[in-house]
Amino acid sequence: MIKQQKVSLFLMLLFFLVMLSYVPTEASQYLDNKHILILNSYQPGFTWTDDQTQAILDTFQEDGYNYTISTEYLDWKRYPYSTTLEHAYQQLQYKYVNQEIDLIITTDDITFQFASLYRKDFLSDAPIVFSGINSEGIMEIDSSIDNYTGVMEVIEPVKTIELALMLNPDLKTLYLIYDNSESGLSTGKLCIDAAKVIAPNLNIISMNNMTAEEIIDTVKSTGPEATFLITTYSFDADGHYIEHEQFCEELGAVSQVPLYHLYDFGINKGIFGGYLTIGYLQGKQAAMLGLEILSGQEASSLPIITEGTNQYTFDYMLLEKYGFTINDLPEDSVLINEPFSFYKTYRSLVLSVLFVFFLLLLFTLILLFYIGKIRRLKNKLGENNEELSQLYEELTATEDEIRRQYGELSEAHQQLEEYSQKLFKLAHHDSLTGLFNRLYLYEEVQSDLNQQKEESAFYFIDLDNFKYINDALGHNTGDELLQVISLRLQKLCDQNNTLIRLGGDEFVFVVHQLKSREEAELFSKNILSLFVAPFRIQGNRLTLTASIGISMFPEHGRTVDTLLRNADMAMYKAKKSGKNGFLFFNGTIKDDILERINIERYFQKALNNGEFMIYYQPQVITQTGEVDGFEALIRWDSPELGFLSPYKFVTIAEETGFIISLGEWTLRNSCHFIKKLNTRLQKQYKISVNISVIQLFQENFVNMIHEVLSELDFPPHLLEIEITESVIMESVELISEKLRLVQALGVTIALDDFGTGYSSLAYLKNIPISTLKVDKLFIDDITDPDSEINLADTIIDLGHKMKLTIVAEGVETADQVAYLKKNGCDKIQGYFYSKPIPAGNLDQWISSLSI
């Protein structure tokens, strides 16, 4: 009986394993047979369309199944006519009426409408995933349409306009460039509404009724108190079609002010940047939805994606042109055309070579010592001939010993020479591919350039999407692929060129004795032709392309470092222009950190010479109008740099660590000043001091506050330190513990700019704060009759329920004061009562209150 049970159990286990091996194979075959149709609203070559399409193709390729993918274009941007749709219907109906379509992916509005109308006719009634329909377009979708989902094109002009105002506080005029198409007008209205909310006093000028020439003339003549925001623009006021990317490049060439954009297809064409909608991210998220549908999900059950397709993006090459630095930009910004930074990574190798040469020198000195000894013996024998017989045996023994040692030294010298040659080869060749490496480029190629008179070219080659292959198939496959690519590239090697692997998936060709630019261009095409045939690696058939940047010697530089950097920048531009191509360098990069260096250089001198000043802005009790205290605000009046606001130097002070001494100076001096003021006026004014995250991370931070309070005999309850939400999120647990220790001293803690950062109720409950400061952003809207939702009320109510004191910042009008008084705000700070006041004028201001 037991034996029969064992046999039965074995048969059941065998059947289960067979079923497991069978099901994935069937599922794989099912997925491999899927047919996907990509319908693009606009023409190929338009960066927005190409980026979405490429992202969709990349995502399906990464999935690992051999889908059948068809791509079609309606060319609606250049030909927005009903005849275009009729022609597309006839052509696509003929192509796909007898084909089974499993999924339709549409880019932008018109193809979604087209597919929704005709999919039951000839597209197998397949589910639809759209990419790039804005909020108005989604609202217009017929309620009868089902079996679809997609990725919404989120246009966020607010962040771009706020960025322009932050970078240029003197901005007075905003020019909006959009056309009179349906999408152009809706986007233009969105920008106008956003600008009115952000900056009511900003002069907004729409350019939709101007010709392209008139717009270019306006851009050319505009001064620094204005800027331009570009949206949807494909036709000018005369109805002429405008090549958008070329038009952006023309504007960038003549503009004296930064040009901002809402879409990524404008970047790298003379546009400075902005908070951009990214076509590649749109397409990738749409493809991810498509994969879920192909795996069995109902399209209508998948929520429409509204986030993750925007990011701050800027052109690094335009920073210096408009007087900005990287530190002026948002922290999460993406930079294009950023210069290559080389770090010396061969320190251990160089030390090894020096050690070998030291040994060689030591052996040589020993050899010279013995040779000198022989000479001295011979001289002594000549002078003392009578001792020759006595010293003969000793001399013979000594000479034999010297010869033996000399032989050993000669053998050691030969071994060192062989080792030096091996070391040279090891130091100058790449271990994976056997090609020359970066050290060879900087040493040997630079030496050749120093003697070169003919024109030469640097080709910086970067493999497109190599990272995806590496991540998907593993580093072993990636290494083997690099070896095969190296062998192909070596087919172009001859006596006039050199192939170098810089590292990763980057290669450099240095070609000498070029006769013309056309010859340099032909060599680029020869490189690209090597990537046409697929690569077969470990049973995988891999298709790969490359992007190439070219710099010319001596036109673009005379050193390897300059030529390599310029070729690298050209490569990145080629990659951003669509990949699988080449581009010649057409500009130079200058030093853009002079201002930062000057600020760092003058920091300590400024502190020692008393150039830093503290201004005091009053905080007034809402219900009584009495002054409760002041916020200390640091300023810098530099003889060399002029009057600097904190926005110019505080971030640099944090990065250099100078903020530690500057912060302690501010705390000590503001407490000292308020104590003298209270004593003189018989008041109990409080002082609020801003604290940096760098200060909080110092081990002696709490001790420093305690020492200041003790030395000045300053009442702790009159001191309040201010922190921001971003400071807390650096390390919630560590900072919360520090704040509890500070609170134990009797000092109160305020959370500044609440609502503009993370705004998480979780940390509000866990950190020991006593004051909540409402940011000016929420105060500006409290008296707006058109505002349906007033977040200031919510913040005040939330703060009071948590037993916190509420301070409203940026209060400027009597209506705002009345509103805050009515809604129970505790204290007010802003220009309505006073701007920040220099210490020398504070007594006079307080006296004026009692008049």
Q: What pLDDT, in 10s, does the model give residues 577-631?
A: 778 999 998 864 334 335 667 888 888 888 899 899 999 999 999 999 999 999 9
pLDDT top residue among 763 and 650? 650
Give yes or no for residue 400 having a pLDDT over 80: no
Tell me how far CA of residue 227 lies from CA of 224, 246, 258, 676, in angstroms: 7, 19, 6, 47
Q: Phi first, then psi: what are they for 272, rounded to 5°?
A: -70, -45
Strands (E), 515-598: 535-537, 540-542, 546-553, 582-584
Write down the pLDDT at residue 809: 93
Q: Phi first, then psi: what are they for 578, rounded to 5°?
A: 130, 0
Residue pair 188/772 in contact by the 8 Å Cβ criterion: no
Contacts of 34 (CB under 8 A, 6+ apart): 65, 67, 68, 102, 103, 294
Within a 13 Å sphere around the CA of 285, how many CA atoms are in the beta-carbon half?
22
- Tell me what percent of the residues of the chain surpass a pLDDT of 70: 89
Average pLDDT over residues 688-699: 89
Lowest model confidence (mean pLDDT) among 23-27, 67-71, 192-196, 393-397 = 23-27
Q: What mean pLDDT is reported for the chain?
A: 86
Six-digit token string for 777: 């952003």
**Given strand 173-177, what is the order of strands in its sheet?**
203-206, 173-177, 226-230, 259-261, 273-277, 310-315, 334-336
Cα radius of gyration rounded to whole Å, the chain: 36
Average pLDDT over residues 104-109: 94
Number of other residues whose CB lies within 10 A of the CB of residue 496: 12
Write down the pLDDT at residue 342: 62
Residue pair 764/802 in contact by the 8 Å Cβ criterion: yes
Average pLDDT over residues 317-332: 90
DSSP 799-829: HHHTT-EEEEES--SHHHHHHHHHTT--EEE
Helix, strand, coil percent content, the chain, rounded in steps of 5 = 50, 20, 30
Average pLDDT over residues 40-56: 92
Write down the pLDDT at residue 320: 87
Give yes or no for residue 243 having a pLDDT over 60: yes
Six-digit token string for 747: 């000092």
Lowest model confidence (mean pLDDT) among 60-64, 348-352, 359-363, 397-401 = 397-401
Tell me if the bond preceding 838 is cis, omega within 30° of 0. Answer: no
pTM: 0.41
CA separation for the pair 141, 461 (Å, rounded) = 46
The residue among 705, 789, 801, 781 whose CA lies nearest residue 749 is: 705
Strands (E), 95-210: 103-107, 128-133, 148-152, 173-177, 203-206
Question: Within its chain, how far is the Cα of 845 from the centroid?
Answer: 46
DSSP 322-385: TT--GGGS-TT-EEESPPP------HHHHHHHHHHHHHHHHHHHHHHHHHHHHHHHHHHHHHTG
Lowest model confidence (mean pLDDT) among 56-60, 363-367, 530-534, 718-722 = 363-367
CA separation for the pair 737, 743 (Å, rounded) = 10
The residue among 646, 741, 654 whose CA lies nearest residue 694 is: 654
Write down the pLDDT at residue 267: 86
Q: Phi first, then psi: what are they for 177, rounded to 5°?
A: -105, 110
pLDDT in tens, 508-520: 999 998 888 899 9
CA separation for the pair 8, 13 (Å, rounded) = 9
Within a 13 Å sphere around the CA of 605, how many CA atoms are in the beta-carbon half?
10
Average pLDDT over residues 34-59: 93
Give yes or no for residue 11 having a pLDDT over 60: no
Environment class of residue 590 by beta-carbon count within 10 Å: exposed (0-12), middle (13-18) or buried (19+)? exposed
* Identity of the amino acid at 357: F
* Identity of the amino acid at 650: V
pLDDT top residue among 689 and 47? 689
CA separation for the pair 511, 523 (Å, rounded) = 9
DSSP 30-71: HHHT-EEEEEESS-TT-HHHHHHHHHHHHHHHHHTS--EEEE
pLDDT top residue among 840 and 405? 840
Write down the pLDDT at residue 344: 43
Tell me how far CA of residue 774 lies from CA of 92, 628, 692, 803, 839, in angstroms: 57, 17, 19, 15, 25
User: Tokens 């950097």 sit at which residue?
Assistant: 565
Average pLDDT over residues 378-384: 73
Write down the pLDDT at residue 539: 84
Q: Phi first, then psi: what are they for 608, rounded to 5°?
A: -70, -35
Write down the pLDDT at residue 832: 94
- With H, G, I as helix, E, B as strand and everything else as coil, classify residue 775: coil
Confidence label for 22 from pLDDT (cuts 50, 70 and 90): very low
Six-digit token string for 431: 């271990």
Six-digit token string for 172: 């007075």
Distance between terminal CA atoms of the chain? 110
Write down the pLDDT at residue 276: 93
* Identity of the amino acid at 471: D
Residue pair 231/177 in contact by the 8 Å Cβ criterion: yes
The residue among 773, 774, 783, 768 whose CA lies nearest residue 816 is: 783
- Give, as one character, the DSSP assignment of residue 267: B
- Tell me what percent of the residues of the chain surpass a pLDDT of 90: 52
* Identity of the amino acid at 335: L
- What are the helix (H) ranges across 42-172? 47-63, 82-96, 109-122, 135-139, 157-167
